[in-house]
Structure 1
Amino acid sequence: MGGVRVEVLGPLRLLVDGTPVEVPGPKRRAALALLALAGGRTVPVDHLLDALWPGGVPDSGRQALHTHVSRLRTLLGPAADRLRTLQDGYRLELAADELDLAQARALLARTRGLDDPAAALPLLRQAHALWRGPVLADLTDVPPIAVAVEEQERLRQEVTDALVGRAVEAGDGAGVLGQAAAAHAADPLREPGAVLLMRALAASGQPAKALRVGREFRRMLADETGLDPSPALGEVERAVAAGAAGPAPAAPGRPTPATRLIGREEQVSALHRLLSEERLVTVVGPGGVGKTRVALEVAGRGEAPVVLLAPVTDPAGLPHALASALDLVVSRGDVLASCLALLGDRPGLLVVDNCEHLLAGARELVEALLAACPRLSVLATSREPLGLAAEYTYRLAPLPVPQPGGEVAASASVAVFLERARRARPGPPPGPAELRLVADIVRRLDGLPLAIELAAGRLSSLSLADLHARLDRSLDLLGGARTGDARHRTLRATIEWSYQLLTDDEQRLFRHLALFADGADLDTAEQLAADLGLGGDPGGLLARLVDASLLDADFADGTRYRMLETLRAFGSDRLAAAGEVPAAEALLVRWAVGLTERIRAGLDGADEAEADATLRREIANLRVAWRLARRRADLDSAAAIVVALFEAIGYRDLVELRGWAEELAADPALAAHPRAAAVLGVAAEAVYHRGDAAGAERLARTGLKRGPDPDDAWYGRMALAVVALARGEFEATAEHALAAVAAVGEHRECLGIAALAAAYGGDLDTARELNGRGTAAAVSPSMRSWAAYVAGEIEGLAGDLEAAEAHYRTALRLARGVGATFLAGVASVGLLAVLARAGRVHDALRGYTRVVDGFARTGNWTHLWTTLRNLADLLRTLGDDRTAALIDAAADLAPDAPAVAGARPVPSPDGPVPDRTEILRLAREAVTRADRVQAATSGARSASR
């Protein structure tokens, strides 16, 4: 039997005994390619005939095929017996190393079992080298070959991806830059290719180029498809920015310790052992003993989410803090339920930090977590136990201090002092005499880590001897309890000592800043100093507080000043002792009213993106101010805050703000307030967004009866317009929307709502005229996005799918740039519907995968049900009636799914309706199946042309 090799990963090539043999004639070359691509299987005669003569087999077709096969045997020479004639067709027998395609697959398969990237690289390089150019370029007019070419291109992508990935892991990113760049250039919208090119660039010392590739991919994906990349791209961007070439595992929103943990190895090990047996362990101890730092060490770097409760002052904010720790944006429905559903029955650890100031609420939160998540363990930190039956209390003691006459340098408390001292004043290591002073200092501070760090920080302005002397005198002045020669000093005494070293103005600023739960930016801090009438430069006062370790300056996003929670508690106590609480609370509420008014103006103008960022950055402080206004029965301020946040309530995923509006609307005292109409209108908008159209209408109509002011009546008119639109009451929609226009002008969304009513009612000319007026008057990016979305709806109804698509893409770009998540969501759904109608089923299916996954990640089931219903319509046109029926049935039963007016009856599914988790799985699988069919069909059609 002679040696033969057929190569199809490039121009068709036949080698017999190592010598190339020319195969003349397109039909003969196609026949050889089809036989080789069959991989040793029999190819039926009818299949060959249909492939070679796709326009119709001539009468002489069978004889012509027989002739081509005979000539191929002649070309095979001594290997002629490899081409066998069977009863129903022909078969070309080739070993795995005699067909380059089979060889490439085998090499790739071998690498999957190798853990060592260096061992896999030679195999992958060999496989990648098998491609010699355009695959069977002269034969793609044969439909089965065209389909095979697409499959081989996917195989080439897989080999290239594996090669680049393993090379980066092996430290040879520079060696695969060419392959990575070529793969990305061939398909610039394929995310894995972009990610691998970024990793290769970063690994070869070009992080700036890597980040540029990521930015360009995001822009192109948004421009071309209107979609966002998956979280994997963001992970690689963060890793590259941090100096790595792979995904960054850091958990969102969790603190990163700046220094190593000293002297707590035994406690960390003990907690690990406890958590292997107990589901709830609470680390308790005094403030400043290091509970948070130890908990973070147990959680590990990037492993367990950390729920930060220190900035939370209201129990209602606890679910939102949990959602933030889980990187879960819940814009609809129950926040806690969404968090519990995300955690599910997966094993893992969750840290809940600083529970003491919200003990009852934290207890309820942890109890819900343990009940709903049977494989979850919780590590809590608190100054006192939570009081749950399942709780194991672990009391964290201060660091050991050196005993008189004992070894000083080996003490953990001394090591902490020395490390902090080196940061405050770099210099040579201390001598024996200095070490004795340090030992006395840490003993007098009872080994409390925060107290030690605060004291060591004073070395920036005091010598060690001065620090020791002043510490001694200050503690005596504080009147600590005495038992013989021993003194017991609390952390409060240590903070008091640092506090007493401040000037009167510095102390006053410190006290008032303690009310800001999440710190204050430079402008706010300086304005606060001015409002307090403090002398001197506010910047100098702030710098002094930072130097004294009573404030921490964070420069990650501008300049922001924060306090440790223990320091905030101390500052609040001193505020009360000075009798300044009412005035300080009034200042904070006044700040919130002014800030929300500036945010309102920003959201309504060209600087919307900056206003959105400010709102999201200050939400924790606004939460404190809101609670203060409510507790003080300050209706004027509460109403001003809620009304100013209307744009955020209507167009952003900050569901907490909607709760504020509903809370204020339910206050009986609001009835007599002059802004009752506006508040009730805003609350109607909030209620509408959680699916309660009847409640929204009730609130809006009540508000219209309360307030004759046209500016305030506008809010209620807007709510009535959107409720009527959802119900299909188009005349009422136009009436309310145009009344709103008369009240506030054409720059808001009122004309767009009226235009939608006209369009849905069939009057497209009127719709275009109304929306044209709204577009011309729109100023903010979100209002321009809204006008573009409305234009997309109108042109979609008119049948101009190309124009509709362009409008939807504009709406998406504008909305995403300013955080208007509601507009981005509806524009995405509209875009996908247009793509499906335009016959771009493959693009639509890819888009549905991203949109469904995105809504599922954020817990936004209201939008998710709408998206799934649209997907069901598309699946039904593709013949997948079963999945479509299951989705529709589940949506019909879901309480948070929007009503579908005038929906046509759909067949009921056989058997029970799946739950939400199962529906998502079925939808994703259906999209994958349909996408594969569409890709293969599209390839065959392209080949036939």
Structure 2
Amino acid sequence: MTDGPLPASLRVEVLGPLRLLVCGAPVDVPGGRRRAVLALLALAEGRIVTVDRLVDALWPSGVPASGRQALHNHVSRLRGHLGPAASRLQRHHDGYRLGLERDELDLAQARALLALAQASAERNPGGAFLLLREAHALWRGPLLADLTDVEPVAAAVEECEQLGREVTDALIATAVSAGRAEEVVGPAAASAAADPLREPAVLLYMRALAATGEAPRALRAGREYRRRLVEETGLDPSPALDDLEKDIVGVGSAPVSAPPVTVLIGREPEVAALHRLLATERLVTLVGPGGVGKTRVAVEVARQSSTATVLALAPVTDPAAIAHALAAALHLNVDRGDVLTACVSVLGERTGLLVIDNCEHLLDGVRDTVDEILSCCPGTTVLATSREPLSLAPEHVRRLTPLGLPRPGRDPAQAPSVALFLERARRVRPGPHPTARELRTIADIVRRVDGMPLAIELAAGRLSTFSLDDLSGRLDRSLDLLGGGSTSAECRHRTLRATVEWSYRLLAQDERRLFRHLSVFTDGVDLDTAERVATELDLTGDPGSALARLVDASMINAAFDGTTRYRMLETLRAFGLDRLAADGEDRAAAERMARWAVELTARFHAATQTRREADADAELRRELPNLRTAWRLIRDSGSLDDAVAMVVALYDAIAYRDLVEIRNWAEELADDPALDGHPHAGLVLGAAAEAVYHRGDYVRAERLARAGLKKGVEGEGAEGAEGAEGRTPWQCLMVLSVAELARGAHDAVVRHSLAAAELAGPHRESLGIAALATAYAGDPDAARALNDRGRAHAVSPSMRAWGSYVAGEIENLAGHGELAERHYVEAVDLARSGGATFLVGVATVGLLSVRAAQGRIHEALEGYRDVVGYFARTGNWTHLWTTLRNLAELLRRLGDDETAASIDAAADQAPDAPAAAGSAPATARRPVPGRTAVLDAARQAIERNLGPERRNTR
């Protein structure tokens, strides 16, 4: 196909989705027209494709004025995709040529392998079989499915499909001759099902069945073909069918034996529940996504039922063949008359269970068949398996969910999903029981494949190739990694990807689009978001109907836990993301998710200033996994405006909620050099300063806050003020206030806080911070006046909680314990109702100090245990040190001087501990414990002083 040596290696594959590999690595080629150019050049097999032919193919309804330039642009970009192999794409005076060797194009490779096999088949059928098996494996799925609207590509696809039929026929015939028929029964069945009227395919299928001892099935296949041919065409089959049937009868048939049944693990409750349902219901449909184990459960129900008949529809592709498949399952020979009528007559005379497996691709036909059976056969009960319900009136739908996952604190081996993995793993790699570390790895694997039985079995099977750690490390490619190797006739179950693809292709185009675009949401969506995405996609039908169809088809799960939530299993979501990329929609989906995240955070910001703060907090926490995904998409795309909008809107989440991850976002953005010059840089720096303050780094917090104030001034000077919150970073003044408060610089606190109040308004926490500093400075009356001004304007639960907390601090300092307790309790309740967990923590510390002073020792100790744990979990050592100092004071009163002194010594040396007046001096030469040690000592002291008779075992 080429002259002379070629540069970097190149391979193009057209026997499936278009695939380009450069130097052995796959290269994504985006855009339909660019992919079409690559396909047309590859299909030319080294010949020049004229510019006229290319533009006519790309714009069949008329070439636009810019068509030729657009073509040249596509070719230029295609060269960029070829990288080191770019010289392979050559420009000639009237067209283009892609230089490929024969083994660099799968189509040419398949043609060559077929020719070699045909030449050697008679003298060496075993060798010819290996060549043909290699050729057959080159077909990877639907051929160039996204390019068949390009006429020359569509014509080439037909030729490739014809070549595929020739290769398949030759493979089956050669396998039978070589004594390896059992290896081709699956391809033979698929070939015959793909074109039920193509006689060579049917005859080869019959030969393969007969050669593997399945003579009865072979004869049934012949009878079905004969009847179908007469009914649909009025023609009789060729004499070859008669001759083959005589040969099969002469050979005789071995008894048909049931395939070995593997141990059913973790499904005993489902099997028992189905038996109970079938005792009272005429029709039960077991639904669930592909690979969840519906067939295996249904077969087990049938095995335990002495009068069960199993109708397997997986190999049936024509609805008209359902009745004939049922006749075969009932061992009926129906040579004339209506086949379904004959089946119904037989079923009507008996009592028993009919299991109809894999109905989803033949729903209309199955629905009609089952309706007829239920109407005419009162003794027959039907158990159907499908990825969506049959939608018949008497139907009882039972959804099969994945296997149970390991639970924290329990033996992983007891989880059904892990037990299944272990059982299947022993079959491919016998050995000792796994170690505790290996069990943890297995637990992680089954979680990552959603507890799906098919995925678990495929993963365990891969232990024949990979170590357990290798398998775990490669599981992010699970859809491709978990390939089968199965010789089952149900070829679509060979890989996890094929199983998902089967369900996907049963969807309408609009449903596929919605599925793809919802897959970007890591943790699912609510109904409003799902319908909004559907509306933005401009679907032709009702958005709610498309969503309902995805739920019915088991592509999305609907959960009704307080609010409606639509989620995908991770394996399905991974497939959806792959399809997004393959269809060139990933960028649009990412941009839509970014808009969603920006709007959600803006909605959160607005609501936290109102009485609706609790709803906003609940939504924020519920959507955090999706916001995490959106944040990474935004950062990876370089969309600075979106990142700034998110961080600025999430200031209250940073300041008052234990969402440490969001604080990290603020710090990450503050360190981005691209932020310099952004009009809202000051607000971002203020948010980052708040985040750093919570980690106790006062020096950096102050530096960020002052830098933010400077940016705000620069922004106003350059563009003019746009409102207090619109431009000026009052948040920076807030951070300066609390940093100075931690140092005990009370005058500076008041100055910064009052300035912030002028900018942000009296409804914020600024006046309360000024009141705290005033109270700590010894002026409770002035402190009350400041705090009362702020409380009068506070609206949201968190700001009202803040006012109550400050009131509690003032009265506590003034020695009014009972009044302080009421304020603290009110602060805790209000903060908890609004989701302001940080405020719950700080108000609880004040409350515990009051209760300890009142002698309510056990209440105080139990409270300290909880609040110490809270601040330790969130990494907020600034307030953890204050809590530990208060605990030390209580411990000293209880006589536990050693622990109290250690805590005080550690706090005195900690750079992030707030200043404390009058703390007890550390013992001379006492070693200062580290943070872990001081936490352990504090917790042990709490438990020791609680005593066993009152110890809470939480």
State the TM-score, normalizing by the size of structure 1.
0.50
Taking every aligned residue pair, what percent have the same amino acid on both sides? 54
Deviation at 1:848, TM superposition (A): 2.7
Deviations 1:793-833 (A, max 9, x none): 11111111111011011111112223212111111111111
Q: Are positions 1:607 and 2:612 aligned together? A: yes
Preserved contact between residue 286 and residue 383 of structure 1 (Cα < 8 Å): no
Please provide the CA RMSD for this pair: 4.2
**Selected match of 2:741 from 725, 731, 744:** 725
Preserved contact between residue 449 and residue 570 of structure 2 (Cα < 8 Å): no
**Selected match of 2:846 from 821, 830, 834:** 830
Deviation at 1:863, TM superposition (A): 3.6
**Selected match of 2:489 from 431, 440, 443:** 440
For 1:543, the aligned partner's letter is A
**Selected match of 1:563 from 558, 564, 568:** 568
Deviations 1:388-435 (A, max 9, x none): xxxxx9x9977896x7xxxxxxxxxxxxxxxxxxxxxxxxxxxxxxxx
Q: 1:274, 1:512 → 2: CA distance?
A: 43
| Farther-moved stretch of structure 1 (271-280 vs 657-666) | 271-280
Preserved contact between residue 455 and residue 482 of structure 2 (Cα < 8 Å): no
**Selected match of 1:629 from 612, 618, 634:** 634
Q: How does 1:212-227 map to 2 (within 5 A)?
A: none
Change in 2 beyond 3 A, CA 1:779/1:290:
closer
Deviation at 1:574, TM superposition (A): 2.4
Deviation at 1:552, TM superposition (A): 2.0
Deviations 1:152-193 (A, max 9, x none): xxxxxxxxxxxxxxxxxxxxxxxxxxxxxxxxxxxxxxxxxx
**Selected match of 2:675 from 652, 670, 673:** 670
Deviation at 1:526, TM superposition (A): 0.5
Partner of 1:175 in structure 2? none
Partner of 1:654 in structure 2? 659
For 2:818, the aligned partner's letter is E
Preserved contact between residue 441 and residue 472 of structure 2 (Cα < 8 Å): yes
For 2:794, the aligned partner's letter is A
Deviation at 1:283, TM superposition (A): 6.5
Partner of 2:764 in structure 1? 748
| Farther-moved stretch of structure 1 (874-883 vs 810-819) | 874-883
Report the secondary structure of 2:899's partner residue: helix
Preserved contact between residue 695 and residue 877 of structure 2 (Cα < 8 Å): no
Deviation at 1:759, TM superposition (A): 1.0
Q: 1:933, 1:553 → 2: CA distance?
A: 46
For 1:276, the aligned partner's letter is T
Q: Are positions 1:275 and 2:434 aligned together? A: yes
Preserved contact between residue 474 and residue 481 of structure 2 (Cα < 8 Å): no
Q: 2:526, 2:612 → 1: CA distance?
A: 19
Q: Are positions 1:504 and 2:509 aligned together? A: yes
Deviation at 1:600, TM superposition (A): 1.4
Preserved contact between residue 749 and residue 770 of structure 2 (Cα < 8 Å): yes
Deviation at 1:624, TM superposition (A): 1.4
Q: 1:653, 1:495 → 2: CA distance?
A: 39
Deviation at 1:516, TM superposition (A): 1.0
Change in 2 beyond 3 A, CA 1:560/1:291:
closer
Q: 2:806, 2:785 → 1: CA distance?
A: 12
Change in 2 beyond 3 A, CA 1:262/1:384:
closer
Partner of 1:899 in structure 2? 914
Deviations 1:874-902 (A, max 9, x none): 2223333222112222334556x523244
Q: How many residues align?
A: 526
Q: 1:567, 1:933 → 2: CA distance?
A: 51
**Selected match of 1:798 from 808, 814, 822:** 814
Q: Are positions 1:877 and 2:920 aligned together? A: no
Change in 2 beyond 3 A, CA 1:916/1:567:
same
Q: 1:447, 1:917 → 2: CA distance?
A: 52
Deviation at 1:684, TM superposition (A): 0.8
Preserved contact between residue 891 and residue 900 of structure 2 (Cα < 8 Å): yes
Change in 2 beyond 3 A, CA 1:750/1:580:
same
**Selected match of 1:867 from 883, 886, 889:** 883
Q: 2:705, 2:658 → 1: CA distance?
A: 22
Change in 2 beyond 3 A, CA 1:765/1:862:
closer
Q: 1:785, 1:295 → 2: CA distance?
A: 52
Partner of 1:534 in structure 2? 539
Change in 2 beyond 3 A, CA 1:253/1:595:
farther
Change in 2 beyond 3 A, CA 1:783/1:399:
same
Partner of 2:685 in structure 1? 680
Preserved contact between residue 808 and residue 824 of structure 2 (Cα < 8 Å): yes
Q: How does 1:445-484 map to 2 (within 5 A)?
A: 445-448=492-495, 450=496
Preserved contact between residue 284 and residue 385 of structure 1 (Cα < 8 Å): no
Preserved contact between residue 801 and residue 830 of structure 2 (Cα < 8 Å): yes
Preserved contact between residue 754 and residue 767 of structure 1 (Cα < 8 Å): yes
Change in 2 beyond 3 A, CA 1:563/1:926:
closer
Deviations 1:746-769 (A, max 9, x none): 111111111112111222112111
Q: 1:904, 1:289 → 2: CA distance?
A: 51
Q: 2:949, 2:855 → 1: CA distance?
A: 11
Report the secondary structure of 1:555's partner residue: strand
Q: 1:904, 1:745 → 2: CA distance?
A: 36
Report the secondary structure of 1:900's partner residue: coil
Q: Are positions 1:772 and 2:788 aligned together? A: yes
Change in 2 beyond 3 A, CA 1:556/1:899:
same
For 1:594, the aligned partner's letter is E
Q: 1:252, 1:281 → 2: CA distance?
A: 11
Q: 2:659, 2:447 → 1: CA distance?
A: 33
Deviations 1:854-913 (A, max 9, x none): 555666554433222211112223333222112222334556x52324454513267644
Change in 2 beyond 3 A, CA 1:865/1:253:
farther
Q: 1:632, 1:727 → 2: CA distance?
A: 41
Structure 1, unmatched stretches of 5+, are 1-247, 299-350, 355-376, 388-392, 404-438, 451-490, 936-945
**Selected match of 2:408 from 251, 254, 258:** 251
Q: How does 1:103-252 map to 2 (within 5 A)?
A: 250-251=407-408
Deviation at 1:917, TM superposition (A): 5.2
Deviations 1:196-248 (A, max 9, x none): xxxxxxxxxxxxxxxxxxxxxxxxxxxxxxxxxxxxxxxxxxxxxxxxxxxx9
**Selected match of 2:708 from 696, 699, 703:** 703
Change in 2 beyond 3 A, CA 1:705/1:495:
same
Q: 1:639, 1:788 → 2: CA distance?
A: 32
Preserved contact between residue 445 and residue 475 of structure 2 (Cα < 8 Å): no
Q: 2:444, 2:617 → 1: CA distance?
A: 39
Preserved contact between residue 886 and residue 913 of structure 1 (Cα < 8 Å): yes
For 1:604, the aligned partner's letter is Q
Deviations 1:327-385 (A, max 9, x none): xxxxxxxxxxxxxxxxxxxxxxxx9xx9xxxxxxxxxxxxxxxxxxxxxx997864727
Preserved contact between residue 856 and residue 864 of structure 1 (Cα < 8 Å): yes
Q: 2:507, 2:476 → 1: CA distance?
A: 36
Preserved contact between residue 268 and residue 297 of structure 1 (Cα < 8 Å): no
Report the secondary structure of 1:559's partner residue: strand
Partner of 1:908 in structure 2? 923
Preserved contact between residue 289 and residue 396 of structure 1 (Cα < 8 Å): no
Partner of 1:890 in structure 2? 906
Report the secondary structure of 2:676's partner residue: helix
Q: Are positions 1:384 and 2:541 aligned together? A: no
For 2:938, the aligned partner's letter is A
Change in 2 beyond 3 A, CA 1:928/1:596:
closer
Structure 2, unmatched stretches of 5+, are 1-404
Q: Are positions 1:640 and 2:635 aligned together? A: no
Q: 2:771, 2:750 → 1: CA distance?
A: 8
Q: 1:646, 1:841 → 2: CA distance?
A: 37
Partner of 1:265 in structure 2? 423
